Every structure is written in C-alpha cells, then in structure tokens.
A = this chain, B = another copy of it.
Amino acid sequence: MVGACGGVGSTVALGLTALKKRLAPSTGLVTELPDFRHLDLVKPDQITVGGHEIRSESLLSAVRTMHSESRVFSPELIAKCAPALRATQRNIKPGIVHGSTRQILDLGDRKSVRAVATAAAAVDVIRRDLTGFRERHALDHVVVVNVASSEPPLKPHRSHNDYPQLAKAIKGKPRIVPASTLYALGSFAADCSYINFTPSAGARLPAVEQFARERDVLYAGRDGKTGETLLKSVLAPMFAMRHLNIQSWIGHNVLGNRDGEILSNPDVKASKIKSKDGLVSHIVGYSPDTRTSIEYVPSLKDWKIAWDFIHFSGFLDTTMSLQFIWSGSDSILAAPLIIDLVRLTEHEYASGRRGPMNHLGCFFKDPRRVTSHQYADQWRELVEHLRPTNPKIAP
C-alpha cells in the first residue's frame, strides 16, 4: 500500500490481522458474500502486507489514534493484533514525494522520505522496493494499492500520451507526473498489479496504460466509492426509473481526517468534486443542477457526514424532495474494499488474465470504462464476470 500508515492503510493491516485471527466477522467484505463463494479467493492469512509511507507514524500508533479519536476498533482488538502490526511495520519503506505539492511535502517526515534526484530514479526505487519485498517474502503476486492522500488535478503535458516520451521526460524535468503515477510506473516495472483507490492520476494516462500493456500487468481504478457517491449510484437510478425529474442535487460533505485536510486545498478539492459530481447526470441522461461541496471539520476525525438534498419534480410539475444524511467512518468503509480488490485482482492473476480490470467498476467513483454508473448494473457486471461458466476466466 502506498500511504500504508494512513487511516485506510492501517485499518487494512489491522483488519487482515483480525480476520486471520478470527477476531472479527467478515462484515463489509464484498468478497465474503454468497455470490462469490464459488471462487477460491486468497485467504487473509495468504496475504502479506507491506508498503510505503512518508510520515513518521507507525501502523500501531495510527490504529491507536483512530481508536481514541474516532471511537473505532476496540482496545482489546488492538492489543491482540499489536504484535502482528509491529511485524508488518518492518515491511513499510520510506516513501517518495517527488512531484508532490507543498501540502504533501509538509506531511512528510525527513527520515520517512526517500531522497531521489529525478522522477525516473523514484520509479526505480519503487521497482526495487517491490521486487525486494516479493523476493524476501517469496510472494507469487504483489498488488500495489494507492491509498495515499489525494493529489491536485494534473497539468497536461504532451508526454502523457506516449510512453517513450514519458520515459524520457521523467529523467529530466520534474513534476511532469505526480507521485501516484511514479508508483504506477514502478509497480508495472516490477511486474506488480496496481490499483488506484484515490482520485489522483495514477495509471490513468495513455502513456502509463501503454507501459502497462507492454508489461502485461493488471490494473484498476480510480477513487474508491465508499459513501455519498455510492448512494448517488443507487438513488439516481430510482429517480430515473420512476421518471422523476431531478432539478438539483446538492451534496455537502464534512469530514475531519487527513484526507479532509488535504481536500481543504482548493485544487485538490476541485479534483475530488469532479470525480463525485458527474455521476448523476450520467445516470439520468440529462444535466440536473448538481453541486458538491467539501468542508474540512477537524473535530469529526475519521467520520464523514454527508447531507444531500435532492430537489425533484413529479407529475403535474410538483416539486418534492429527498434528503439523506450519511454518517460513516471513511477508513472503516474503505478498508474492506481494499481487501476485496486485492483478492479479486489475485483471482484475475491466477486465472491468467492481464490488462485493465473493467469489471471492478462498482468499487470506483471514476471507473476506467463506464458502461453504467448505476450500482445495480455495475454489480451485475462484476457477478457476471466472475460466474463459474464465464469462458473469459476459464483456466
């Protein structure tokens, strides 16, 4: 995991340990639903966690802070998992901030940040770290998951469209691509799969996809769909199927974790809102007045409250409304999906498939290829893809 000791990363580490030790139910894990029972998915104890982190925080201190500040996890669970988390900590390497903005640089701790001269050098460091990790633990397959802080929108550069040009460009001029993309490149160079759970660029550039094809690797993304957007993807179809005309859909999100802090930067916020906002129009086939705002409210810690006000007209031009208030812990919602994505990626890998994993659209706000943004459709696409009789995944 990139950003391994953040809220999501540390919850994944704690959760996998809890699952191994049978200290927690499988609630929240999509891959534990009956629909996927026929798949011989990798078990929690077959997964080894590692990652990169630029802050001085450890996995254990992260989950303890989560507990005391956000009232998630029980102290008993943390105590029982502490030895495993300390062991996992040895698999966390200092991270890369090459190409990062001031805000991210400020998060970084001197000892936890790897100094590199160029972006190309950064890619090479990542490649070597991943290869070393695989060899040290004798792993069959490494899946890199980006759960680091959101990056601001990427300024276009012509090298983004052609891998040879990009490979050349990153040797010189800095900041052509952000850290998330460097991790994607490093992952592919090391023959690892790559999943982007954030709205950052990651592998979403023609040049990077070109390199992925060259390396014949698996990848998916981007921006995990955990809360408000998930609700949009189930509620907007309802309005559509009842021919109720959405006039305005106003969403106000307040959250208090590091992600919220990073998003308080207007540029990064713009990137996130873009990822959240287009969905409704796509589903209903016209353009309601949609407005999404995000507010960083430190007292909420890892909790996120979303208030959505949906103003719609029905028969004979009557205006009505639906409001919802979602109150969830961001890390708790995201972590099991990360485990799901790793298991499903490993399943593809073991089935001999390579390339973009478009069937994973239901996990993302901004999936690579959008057949439908309706959650029910995306779900069916996933289930169909994994059907035992699906010839595409036959051995």
Listed in ascending order, the chain A residues whose CB lies under 8 Å from chain B are: 11, 14-15, 18, 24-30, 32-33, 68, 71-75, 77, 230-231, 234-235, 237-238, 240-245, 247-248, 250, 252, 254, 289, 291, 293, 295, 297-300, 305, 307, 309, 311, 313-329, 332-333, 335-336, 362, 374-377, 379
Contacts and interface: CB of A to CB of B under 8 A. Distances in A.
Contact of A324 (B319, B322, B377): B322
Nearest to A288: B299
Given A25-B317, A254-B309, A289-B298, 13 more contacts: A28-B243, A28-B316, A75-B75, A234-B235, A238-B375, A247-B299, A250-B295, A293-B293, A299-B319, A314-B333, A322-B324, A322-B326, A325-B325
A305 B313 contact: no
A238 B234 contact: yes
A230 B306 CA distance: 22
A195 to B, nearest CB: 18
A289 B293 contact: no
B316 A33 contact: no
A320 B300 CA distance: 11
A372 B30 CA distance: 20
B28 A248 contact: no
A1 B366 CA distance: 47
A244 B27 contact: yes
B293 A295 contact: yes
Contact of A315 (B15, B244, B316): B15
Contact of A299 (B72, B311, B327): B311
Contacts of A299: 247-248, 289, 311, 319
Copies of this chain present in the complex amount to: 4
Nearest to A23: B316
A24 B316 contact: yes
A15 B27 CA distance: 35
A74 B317 CA distance: 9
B297 A243 contact: no
B293 A243 contact: no
Contacts of A326: 321-322
Given A27-B314, A293-B293, A376-B376, A321 B332 contact: no
A27 B332 contact: no
B248 A300 contact: yes
A322 B314 CA distance: 23
B311 A332 contact: no
Contact of A14 (B298, B316, B333): B316
A233 to B, nearest CB: 8
Nearest to A32: B243
A316 B18 contact: yes
A19 to B, nearest CB: 9
B238 A237 contact: no
Given A241-B379, A321-B327, A327-B321, A315 B300 contact: no
Nearest to A239: B234
Contact of A297 (B30, B238, B250): B250
A255 B392 CA distance: 51
A323 B240 CA distance: 21
B311 A300 contact: yes
Give 4 nearest A-B pairs by CB, closest first.
Answer: A28-B315, A376-B376, A247-B299, A324-B324
